[in-house]
Amino acid sequence: MSTGSISSPSTSSSTTRLTSIVSHLSDARPKVVICRHLGPAMPLLQDRKDIEVVLWPEDRSCERSWLLDNIRGAAGVLVLLGDKVNEELLEAAGPNLRVVSTMSVGYEHIDLPLMARRKIRVGYTPDVLTEADLSVMLALMAGRNDGAAYSLVRNGDWAKPKFAWSPFTFCGPQLSATPSSPTRTVGFLGFGRIAQATLARLIPFGITHCLYAGSPSSRPDTARDAALQATHKLKVLERVDADRLARESDVLFVLTPGGTETYHLVDAAFLRKMKPMSVLINTSRGSVVDSDALATALREKWIWGAGLDVVEGEPLITEDHPLVKEPQCVMVPHIGSATFQTRLDMATRAINNLYGGLFGEDMPAELGRQ
Amino acid sequence: MSTGSISSPSTSSSTTRLTSIVSHLSDARPKVVICRHLGPAMPLLQDRKDIEVVLWPEDRSCERSWLLDNIRGAAGVLVLLGDKVNEELLEAAGPNLRVVSTMSVGYEHIDLPLMARRKIRVGYTPDVLTEADLSVMLALMAGRNDGAAYSLVRNGDWAKPKFAWSPFTFCGPQLSATPSSPTRTVGFLGFGRIAQATLARLIPFGITHCLYAGSPSSRPDTARDAALQATHKLKVLERVDADRLARESDVLFVLTPGGTETYHLVDAAFLRKMKPMSVLINTSRGSVVDSDALATALREKWIWGAGLDVVEGEPLITEDHPLVKEPQCVMVPHIGSATFQTRLDMATRAINNLYGGLFGEDMPAELGRQ
């Protein structure tokens, strides 16, 4: 499905033919391949007359064979997390390709060294803060025994005699501080923008202490920490090691990048150090948390509960997955950025990155350019 | 089950007998009936040597016949929402009864005019702010399409081909403001302590406007409103009529008392005025919202979603209830105060109210005394 078409080369006299070829070259609109319909952002592509848009026509992930066929001669491609951008794709595209734009925060699917060698610019969409909303939601749900409570209603068991309410039914640890329980410690494994946005959202719940563990390669930023502590009127805001983070956090948020450096940072040894009434929230990358260890921790009550937006091996998570079966584990299907506003912002950003690369202009968010 | 016992009257010589009776009278410990085991708060009752505690021995609601038998001669009774305190109970208790303490925020189960006539003091446990936590949780869940997302994982459908992700799958309206969508209006039907605690928790999400409708009998408090607006740096904080509240709110919280004055304030006419992308949250009383009208509003997409902790007719809510069947309705089983900290605070408060009434002292929270 194309919204325009390449002008057909003339076949008449040589003059006309030359004119036609010159016209074709000068008028030639760069071809861009769009690997997924972008919903309400599509007019930003379809209303442009200076490009040729080739759009994967179905409402599912783009087929590789279609992409390899259609990318031939393209100047740009807009991809999603499932579309591998590798040697094979570049060979199929040919030398015209000058920009790859991904509508995603992650870029594990793009071979960045290869892009650098070929001088192909790469755009992505990092400015997503909605994981902070989701982190707060999951912290509230995991503490509230929400899985069991929600299922009770959905299954129609609220009305049944087998549901016997008692004063401590469905109780869990409370996120908000109270006069009789006045301190709360939140911990962050990784303390970037989303962690700080999550912290800000938790302050009115009465959070008093904030601990975080940063990447070993990052340097402590005491001035930033002092400013944050003052802004939020916290008793403590401190960079600590993983051991203390595990031991002292009431609610612990995993908000690190993925990859080998953070693989299974939260393992059985880490979970065993956590408080029995603590909850663990992961809205970053599944690989950071050892799923089997977490299932054991929940089953044996090393910790109170967990809230996960991401999990190792997703989306191949079946109903007999050990974490799906754990009643104190709340799991949602990687919906961190799933709001109309954010996804529209991401699609718009991805399209503007594409245009920046196509026309040799600035890209709103370019990888590998500082 | 009693933790103590009344001393047996002696049957020997008259002197001994008189001594025994005097001793019995002077030592007579007031009897209190406790209608439910109070979990970790029980030591506050069982460790007291100056009262006789009679405790309903089962882990379910107290049977009426047991209560009517056991309350005879009691000086105090500690009840829950399901235990009606009426003429029948007072007749069974006899003239000794001087205090009724309920472990609940509501007191619809207690005949207050009757208590006043009999000069029986009544305690309750109003200072519960956890509904604010739950209101935030439900607002996040209802906007996030959480019902569908959560069920997808729980049913094992995340792994199945029939789940076809697309860039706008599971999207809903975003609670947090963004640079491209910078204003958010929250509305409150009822603007008491819990509403204000909910507002405070929402501020870091980027809320810019707050509208509320108060009870018609309450007077506007412009000084309080100006102070709140300044504290929260809101562009607008304004008391409005129900019409404007419905038309302008992105997220609307029902936080009114129950009863005839607020019955079905949220009806079809109200819901028809709301924005198509708005969500309605009810954590106060089911009777305020017309369930049938809300189910229609969701089915016909007058509004985006709903989050309910309370619903008309609860707990007799079966799986074919029209709101349980609505995918955009998130319903939890009245767990507003269901945290260990809050329920322990409520139990402690109820016990201290009981002691205040028993021994003619102050009660921490007494009904009908200003």
Domains of chain A, earliest start first: 14-127+341-358 (3.40.50.720), 130-331 (3.40.50.720)
Please list the residues that pair with A187 across neighbouring strands.
Answer: A211, A252
- Within 169-228 of A, beta carbons closer than 8 Å to B belong to 169-176, 178, 180-181, 200-201, 203-205
> To 10 degrees, what angle do helices B146-154 and A146-154 make?
90
CA A282 – CA B249 distance, rounded (Å) = 31
What token pair was written down for A330?
A: 């709340």
Average pLDDT score over residue span A341-369: 94
- The C-alpha atoms of residue A32 and residue A58 are separated, in whole angstroms, by 17
Token pair of A188 as six digits: 């962050």
B22 pLDDT more than 70: no
The CA distance from B23 to the nearest CA of chain A, in Å, is: 38
Does the CA dihedral A145-A266-A189-A277 come out positive or negative?
Answer: positive
Residues A316, B159: C-beta atoms closer than 8 Å: yes
Sign of CA dihedral A218, A220, A223, A226: positive
**All residues at 6 or more sequence positions from A282 whose CB lies less than 8 Å from its CB, including other chains:** A253, A254, A266, A288, A289, A306, A307, A308, A309, A310, A311
**Pair A113, A296: CB distance under 8 Å:** no
What mean pLDDT value characterizes chain B?
Answer: 90
Residues of A in contact with B200 (CB under 8 A): 204
Measured between CA atoms, the residue of chain B closest to residue A80 is: B167
Least confident of A50-64, A155-169, B6-20: B6-20
B210, B236 contact by CB (below 8 A):
yes
Q: Do B180 and A343 touch (CB under 8 A)?
A: no
Q: Which pLDDT does position A330 carry in this prediction?
A: 93
* Angle at CA of residue B181, ends B177 and B185, nearest 5°: 60
Q: A349 is written with which tokens? A: 């950003």
Q: What is the pLDDT of residues B186-228, one digit of tens each?
A: 999 999 999 999 999 999 999 999 999 998 888 999 999 999 9
Backbone angles phi, psi at B326, to 5 degrees: -75, 120
- Are the Cβ atoms of A178 and B129 closer than 8 angstroms? yes
Confidence class for position A3, pLDDT limits 50, 70, 90: very low
Q: Which of A:271-330 have CB within 8 Å of B? A: 277, 314-321, 324, 330
Band (pLDDT 50/70/90 cuts) for residue B145 is confident
Closest CA to A36 of B84, B183, B165, B78: B165
B residues 71..110 contacting A (CB < 8 A): 80, 103
Q: Scanning every residue of chain A, which has its alpha carbon at the shortest distance from the alpha carbon of B169?
A: A338
- The model's confidence at residue A354, banded by pLDDT at 50, 70 and 90, is very high
Residue B181 pairs in a beta bridge with B178
A334 is catalytic: yes
Tokens of B241: 């009529």
Spatial separation of the C-alpha atoms in residues B92 and B96, rounded to whole Å: 11
Q: Which residue of B has its CA nearest to A169?
A: B338
What percentage of chain A's residues is helix, strand, coil (to nearest 5)?
A: 40, 15, 45
Residues 6+ apart with CB under 8 A from B160: none
Give yes or no for a cis peptide into A167 (omega within 30° of 0). no
pLDDT of B283 > 90? The answer is yes
> Residue A215: is its pLDDT beyond 60?
yes
Ranges of H-type helices in B82-236: 87-93, 112-118, 130-143, 146-154, 193-202, 222-231
Q: Kindly state whether A331 is in contact with chain B, defined as any CB-CB distance less than 8 angstroms.
A: yes
Question: What mean pLDDT is predicted for residues A164-191?
Answer: 91
Residue B159 at interface with chain A, using a CB cutoff of 8 Å: yes
Question: Are B137 and A133 in contact, with CB atoms under 8 Å apart?
Answer: no
What value does the mean pLDDT of chain A take? 90
What is the average pLDDT across A165-187?
A: 90
3-state secondary structure B22-67: HHHHHHCCCEEEECCCCHHHCHHHHCCCCCEEEECCCCCCCCHHHH
Which residue of B39, B149, B330 is in closest CB contact with A335? B149
